[in-house]
Structure 1
């Protein structure tokens, strides 16, 4: 997915993250300052907190930490502003509601009036996974009549297109933790193929139930102390989080003509699968290495030029070493030990936001490029011994690091890998923008 004559660019973006963050300025401040945005499990979602915190007492179960990265504004919504009735809004998965307002903000941030898009041939591609919100559809309750659409993942993209009057393709993508970069991949392809003039690409994760906590407790894959330590020797499992991000994707010629700011060129995106052999949920270093090489080949980019990688980095004992092996064999092999590529994961700040994790990482990468600084990854002062860092060509950014451009461009990469075997990777060229307000 390359194209140098008129490349696909990101011309606007918006984010919602834990810690009450709903602006790019707030997000960057938290990243640059190295703040951890985790907090205790929510007591206002009717979750069985006492049972959750004692689940480790069952034979064969691990600990559910009293911690996660949660959206404080997940229940806040103005239905009339988006043309919904109050009953319809309550019945709708909060992922639909959060995605709507983040998409609106992304358009405004790009300098596009969301209220004047009715009939526009614009695409909408959103990464979403099912989060078990609300009662069953097959029962009689006050939400009946609104629950089919309210519960559908397909309605996340469809709701945005409907509210804005967009007439291009509207697709919800579920590739588990790879969903958001897979959505970006489809959005860029659709714009390049002329299926739509431009597109929204994004993802959202709001946990309607604590299902993920129970599943990973059974697998003993959550950090008992509630801290996410990607690529660290002390990594003891992931910590769940929430979030949402949306970017505006268009051709650079259109962006320049409309006076939009270009945050980055999408040089290439690729998606693949682990294939068979190992259990479905076990990642594959070989598949990740193939994916990275294919993306770099499509971009026509020397990996030695890449200065920052925003990794998947879930802080699990299985996943991190596998990812590091693939990164060392590709990007690391192209770098001298005296000039390693900087690596990090935003999951150390806000937990693993599942379907939205790749977009939150992508926006981090774009902001790092805009500010000329690689934000630090937390809890990684003692890197894992699963990789020989001195000879890997990789280095963890544990403090803010300057990111120097090459001829006015910073080259970065971002990964996301799904628990069902789907992998996604993107390579971007970011113009040096630190002299302007990001």
Structure 2
């Protein structure tokens, strides 16, 4: 068998010999085009080897689509004549990868060498006759007079009809034309890996198939008159579409289904090259580069049927250089619709930021960069933090006191380092200072610096500080309380999270109210809510009895660090963490959240006048509590709805105005469905679908800092006027109630369709404290 396969590999052209003068239908294996088998006279019939049978026999497919089993002695190798002498270059390949590859190479070589390729197809007389009958029932027409030559070549006298769809989009081939159309699609695919280098174009798509039939008489030709272009055709885009075709057509595939004879003349545009005349033979496909070659198709009579399709190269891509004009004119030119304007009246304007987000999100641009590109920012906890292997066990070997989760979203910066000299902190104190305090110092000053402040002018400046933080392993490290070294005398203030806002105020000399909020996962957004309320007084005449509410600017901050394994071990007990180590938000594989760390700050100012240099505007905020629900840690849908409604009420927004929702979306089996259900209850009455996104799928759950990462992401989406894709989103969680709810869970960057938008962010603490805020950006 091995010798036979080497001598007659699949695809070898053969001629049958030494067989009986006639073989009956029942003696045949069948037909390759599903036509009814018919008796044949096999000797002298040509075909190709498509498979190997038992007992050292060959399975041959003739060019008439008949399949039969023959012995080695009944075949001889066959070399076709040259195409110019009535032969062909290659035969259509068998259903074999190596044969298909050899065919593709042979076809490309013919196109490169001769400028065309003639392919011998396998087609039975029955299928040919069926195609002729189908052709008689088709509705024919003439193209616009100015368009015909681009498709039909020169000196054409025919009528045409176009197939409505590609056969490959159907469940099965319904007609003979569908069978032929599949060949066009297959040839296009054969060209994909070879054409870019060998033929200097990238196959992008192919046209629907066109059927062309000659006119039977001059009288019939008179019934099909080509119309000239009209203004309506230009307005309808017909001219643009035709010009695009002329520019993009690369290869013409011309399949001669039936013919009584005639010739095809290929006319190169290069006048130094000679014309090529090919004899018309039924069952042949002729491929030639239509962008460099014209043609004349000349059958001898009307008993002729041809099917054509064109392989198209990539659409022309315009290079954007510059756009000059005012902003409104630019938006109109780019097709950007005008979105909502900046809110009037007293508003909370956002200015400079200082960010420390996982995956290198140290600036707004870097943060948006990996969100827009759907980057997974989580990784295994590195040894530079601690040896996680000492505390972990696989999910099947997990026991209390260990962690099965070993992945997190981690900051790229060294959380243990701080420029103590810049902040006038002694080295002894800096060594034991909690990473969260160090982060708050750095990111707080970055936000002030990026807002235009310098350290010298901050002394006694009245700036509020509102921070969210829930503690970490550092605060509970016993070594800091032993007191056996002098440097530990100040360890309490250096490690406790209650000192976070005070540390920044003390170091920079800032005067102003400060607050540290610890509501677990909603800490940062709740801290924003406290500061927002203080900045945006609801009653101007209200007198502050004890707290100074006359505040015009504040730092909104959040911090969550992962300096030890304690949090992982605690969360693995109730199986809150993902086994795989990612937040599969909205996805059917959601199995818990992945921990993440982050630190950030942004400066806000209460402005009554419209400003042009702010980063974004926050127009509403609300905080509330679940009260008594299913359990202390269980989410409460009605309470979440009330929180969202409260924020929207202050912002003066209706559901249809909110473009995008940045959800808490931790990727837990219970939390995601409840949150989506709560959002549906508030946002369902809308026309345009609302995007639902979550940063946690990219960077993990930043816990106490999650709200800050979320509200900044809202600002970034509004400024980009696009909803970010949801990372790790493949199959929608079946427990999400989206029936009758106009919403979209984007899997790629999605344009708002406007140059501005409103976006809301939610943050829910597992103790039951909820927070929500609305942002505007342009």
TM-score by length of structure 2 reads 0.52
Equivalents in 2 of 1:211, 1:236: separation in Å?
20
Which of 491, 496, 507 pairs up with 1:163? 507
Indicate the residue corresponding to 1:139 in structure 2: 482
Aligned 1:130-209 pairs, distance under 5 A: 130-133=471-474, 135-136=477-478, 137-142=480-485, 143-193=487-537, 194-209=549-564
Q: CA deviation at 1:59?
A: 5.2
Which of 18, 37, 44 pairs up with 2:358? 18
Which of 343, 366, 382 pairs up with 1:42? 382
Equivalents in 2 of 1:118, 1:267: separation in Å?
29
Q: CA deviation at 1:62?
A: 9.2
Indicate the residue corresponding to 1:436 in structure 2: none
Q: Is the 8 A contact 2:345 2:608 kept in 1?
A: no
Q: CA deviation at 1:56?
A: 5.0
Indicate the residue corresponding to 2:776 in structure 1: 429
Which of 335, 343, 354 pairs up with 2:686? 335
Indicate the residue corresponding to 1:410 in structure 2: 757
Change (3 A) 1:115 1:343: farther
User: Residues 157-213 of structure 1, C-alpha deviation per residue, up to 9 Å, x if partnerless?
Assistant: 111111221110121111111111111111122223443231000101112322221
Equivalents in 2 of 1:71, 1:56: separation in Å?
30
Change (3 A) 1:242 1:380: same
Change (3 A) 1:212 1:297: same
User: Residues 26-48 of structure 1, C-alpha deviation per residue, up to 9 Å, x if partnerless?
Assistant: 11111111111111113233455
Equivalents in 2 of 1:109, 1:415: separation in Å?
26
Indicate the residue corresponding to 1:384 in structure 2: 733
Aligned 1:269-284 pairs, distance under 5 A: 269-284=621-636
Equivalents in 2 of 1:141, 1:127: separation in Å?
32
Equivalents in 1 of 2:396, 2:627: separation in Å?
33
Indicate the residue corresponding to 2:281 in structure 1: none
Q: CA deviation at 1:274?
A: 0.6
3-state DSSP of counterpart to 1:68:
strand
Unmatched 5+ residue regions in structure 2? Answer: 1-342, 538-548
Q: Is the 8 A contact 1:61 1:220 kept in 2?
A: no
Q: CA deviation at 1:243?
A: 0.7
Indicate the residue corresponding to 2:579 in structure 1: 224
Q: CA deviation at 1:58?
A: 4.1
Which of 654, 659, 668 pairs up with 1:307? 659
Q: CA deviation at 1:117?
A: 0.9
Equivalents in 1 of 2:364, 2:525: separation in Å?
19
Q: Is the 8 A contact 1:12 1:261 kept in 2?
A: no
Aligned 1:347-358 pairs, distance under 5 A: 347-358=696-707
Which is strand-richer, 1 or 2? 2
Equivalents in 2 of 1:138, 1:414: separation in Å?
39
- Number of aligned residue pairs: give it: 421
Change (3 A) 1:277 1:34: closer
Equivalents in 2 of 1:297, 1:9: separation in Å?
19
Larger RCO (CA within 8 A; separation ≥ 6)? 1
TM-score by length of structure 1 reads 0.91
3-state DSSP of counterpart to 2:481:
coil
Change (3 A) 1:254 1:153: farther
Larger-gyration structure (1/2): 2
Q: Is the 8 A contact 1:55 1:61 kept in 2?
A: no
3-state DSSP of counterpart to 1:249:
strand
Equivalents in 2 of 1:200, 1:56: separation in Å?
45
Which of 686, 708, 726 pairs up with 1:359? 708
User: Residues 266-289 of structure 1, C-alpha deviation per residue, up to 9 Å, x if partnerless?
Assistant: 221000011013211111011101
Which of 424, 442, 446 pairs up with 1:83? 424
Indicate the residue corresponding to 2:590 in structure 1: 235
3-state DSSP of counterpart to 2:380:
coil
Equivalents in 2 of 1:297, 1:46: separation in Å?
47
Equivalents in 2 of 1:63, 1:150: separation in Å?
28
Q: Are 1:399 and 2:748 an aligned pair?
A: yes
Which of 580, 598, 604 pairs up with 1:249? 604
Q: Is the 8 A contact 2:554 2:604 kept in 1?
A: yes
Q: Is the 8 A contact 1:63 1:224 kept in 2?
A: no
> Which deviates more from structure 2 when the two are superposed, residues 111-120 or residues 239-248?
111-120
Q: CA deviation at 1:241?
A: 0.4
Change (3 A) 1:328 1:148: same
Equivalents in 1 of 2:399, 2:358: separation in Å?
33
Change (3 A) 1:329 1:373: same
Equivalents in 1 of 2:402, 2:737: separation in Å?
30
Q: Is the 8 A contact 1:91 1:147 kept in 2?
A: yes
Indicate the residue corresponding to 1:32 in structure 2: 372
Unmatched 5+ residue regions in structure 1? Answer: 433-438
Which of 262, 280, 296 pairs up with 2:614? 262
User: Residues 335-365 of structure 1, C-alpha deviation per residue, up to 9 Å, x if partnerless?
Assistant: 23xx210011000111000000110011111
